[in-house]
Amino acid sequence: MTTESFVIGVDYGTDSVRSVLVNTQSGQEIASAIYYYPRWKKGLYCDPSRNQFRQHPLDYVEGLEFTIKSCLEQAGPAVAAQVKAISVDTTGSTPVAVDHSGIPLALLPGFEHNPNAMFVLWKDHTSVNEAAEINEHATRFPVNYLQFVGGIYSSEWFWSKLLHILRTDEDVRNACYSWVEHCDWIPFLLAGGKRSADIRRGVCSAGHKSLWAAEFGGLPPEEFFSSLDPLLAGYTSRLFTETYTADQAAGTLGEEWAARLGLSTAVIIGIGAFDAHMGAVGGQIEPYFLSKVMGTSTCDMLVAPATEVNDTLVKGICGQVPGSIIPGMIGMEAGQSAFGDAYAWFRNLLMWPLKHLVTESSVLTAELAQVLVNDVEARIIPELSRLAEQLPVEEYGELAIDWMNGRRTPDANQALKGAFLGLGLGSDAVKLFRALAEATCFGARKIVDRFIEQGIPVKGLIGLGGVARKSPYIMQMMADVMNMPIKIHRSEQTCAIGAAMFAATAAGIYPRVEDAMEAMGQGFDAIYEPDAEKAAIYAKRYEQYTTAGNLVETITR
């Protein structure tokens, strides 16, 4: 064991955090652990009716310690002694207000239960108005400061969320010194940082969500923000000018966390990045292959050599940033605001009678009622998928629009809503589920079409994440709708594995992340080929989806 080295990849998802301990020579997962956020699971600090989704930093901190310690306990002390680095990915844009010391306000007395002092989750859309103001405001400047984020700023992102929080909460406004992405704060925490000014910001979060660009010399000028709203005055000077790629080090493990985890202070802490970006690396992304990380939402990643992209700017995506995925290449991001979340919404809709009536039944005991609810909840989507797969693919029938959580790309508009059309008395749960699944696939095709229309070819698809591995029905439909093959990565934890690859690179075990990918990658274990006959029918339904989407967008206020 002493000749081997190991790294830890930490992946913060929407519902949980997971860590993996990986052998850097073989890529073998030696141990893994998952921690579901207890406060989030209870629905605390969230209000879905207002699109407010906040997460308490204690969920993150407790999960970090639990999962890493669990991995080390599984692996044993000999392996723990050879851990060389830790890297972290998170959801994003998920920023938080911090004080001068870099401490999230929710960890300070008086703010423990204030949602505005917590991390504002990526899917929080309370700042729709602020995003619209930023988009309008940007047109007044001779320099287009939105050119590298697809030309449209989103309510899911850094500045719109900051402005909304500052406007909403005077106490937070007065206590907030700086604004930090989750993926930048965790490495700072592990490294024992004491000043917010010392937080090393990754180019991934900075370029895709914060409007940082080398062409601007950093962030847009102070005037851009202070003239938008005086509440933003002074923030650029308290943020950052320099950014780092994820193959670099944020520092070494601080004494406090070394003691908590039982690791050496020589352990390297890598620069953080967003989950989909590291997930694309864990899933062995290739140039011009769209890597689709499919979970509650989707993040679609594409890399291309800078010399081939040249001055091409793809409109309506979530940005293109040098080095945001693989250092030395242009990283492009797109995605859908609801993917697995759309299916979860439908499941919860169908589960309403069980959760609210069966659990109150006088016929069943409370314990038996809960067992029944849990059993049905676990089986409902697989069974709907099985029955939907038996339905013939026809040109006409129930149709859905997948904007259940707004539209991320192409052309961000979080005010948009989902819809079902063509319903009749013969419409049932299976047909509506099929329509919803189709809609998520049609939404994915819109992204591919946009890349191609704007001059960036898409040579193939790579499926990553929970939905990709667990739903053959939806993956086959995706291949048919796209009319191109989609290959599924073997690993169920590509984001955490990607973080481990970056950790190995930051520690100097590999000179480039591409080398870490080749050595530690686990390969692919499935490929879905399109069915030509079904693809032709889906092409016609895709036209209907486009027409219906235009209608929904027209009537949305």
Here the CATH number for the domain that contains residue 361 is 3.30.420.40
> Same domain, yes or no, for 276 and 360?
no
Residue 213 lies in a domain: yes
Do 180 and 239 contact (CB within 8 A), yes or no?
Answer: no
Do 361 and 377 lie in one domain? The reply is: yes
Question: How many angstroms separate the Cα of 468 from the Cα of each of 52, 358, 551?
Answer: 28, 33, 30
Residue 414: its pLDDT value, please? 87
**pLDDT over 90 percentage in the chain:** 93
Same domain, yes or no, for 435 and 477? yes
Q: Is residue 332 part of a domain?
A: no
**For residue 556, what pLDDT is reported?**
82
pLDDT at position 1 is: 38
232 shares its domain with 87? yes
- Tell how far CA 503 is from the center of its chain: 19
Structure tokens at 195: 């000043």
In contact, 429 and 384? CB cutoff 8 Å: yes
Q: Please indicate, yes or no, if residue 443 is contained in any of the structural domains.
A: yes
For residue 11, give the nearest of 71, 78, 90, 79 by alpha carbon: 90
Establish if 330 belongs to a structural domain: no
**What is d(CA 73, CA 67) in angstroms, rounded to the nearest whole number?**
10
- pLDDT at position 360, please? 84
Beta strands in 326-417 (DSSP E): 329-336, 399-401
In a domain, 295, yes or no: no
Indicate whether 312 belongs to any domain. Answer: no
Q: Do residues 401 and 344 both lie within one domain?
A: yes
| 267 and 126, same domain (yes or no) | yes
Instruction: Write down the mean pLDDT value for the chain.
Output: 96
Nearest residue to 220 (alpha-carbon basis) of 210, 231, 229: 210
User: Does residue 531 share a domain with residue 513?
Assistant: no
- The rounded distance, in Å, linking the Cα atoms of 252 and 149 is 32
pLDDT of 2 over the 60 cut: no
Distance, CA of 12 to CA of 89 (rounded, Å): 6
Q: Is 288 part of a structural domain of the chain? A: no
Q: What is the pTM of this model?
A: 0.90
Tell me how crowded residue 326 is: count the other CB atoms within 10 A of its CB.
23
Tally of domains within the chain? 2
Same domain, 101 and 121: yes
C-alpha 252/C-alpha 256 separation (Å) is 12
Phi and psi for 397 in degrees, rounded to 5? 155, -170
Rg of the chain, C-alpha, whole Å: 23
In the numeric block, the tokens 């040098």 are attached to: 322
Yes or no: say if 531 and 478 are a contact pair by the CB < 8 Å rule.
no
Are 408 and 397 found together in one domain?
yes
Domain of 218?
Answer: 6-283+491-522
Indicate whether 461 and 387 sit together in one domain.
yes
**Same-domain check for residues 502 and 428:** no
Query: How far apart are the C-alpha atoms of 258 and 468, rounded to whole Å?
Result: 36
Helix (H, G, I), strand (E, B) or coil at 10: strand
- pLDDT at 295 > cutoff 90: no
199 and 145 share one domain: yes
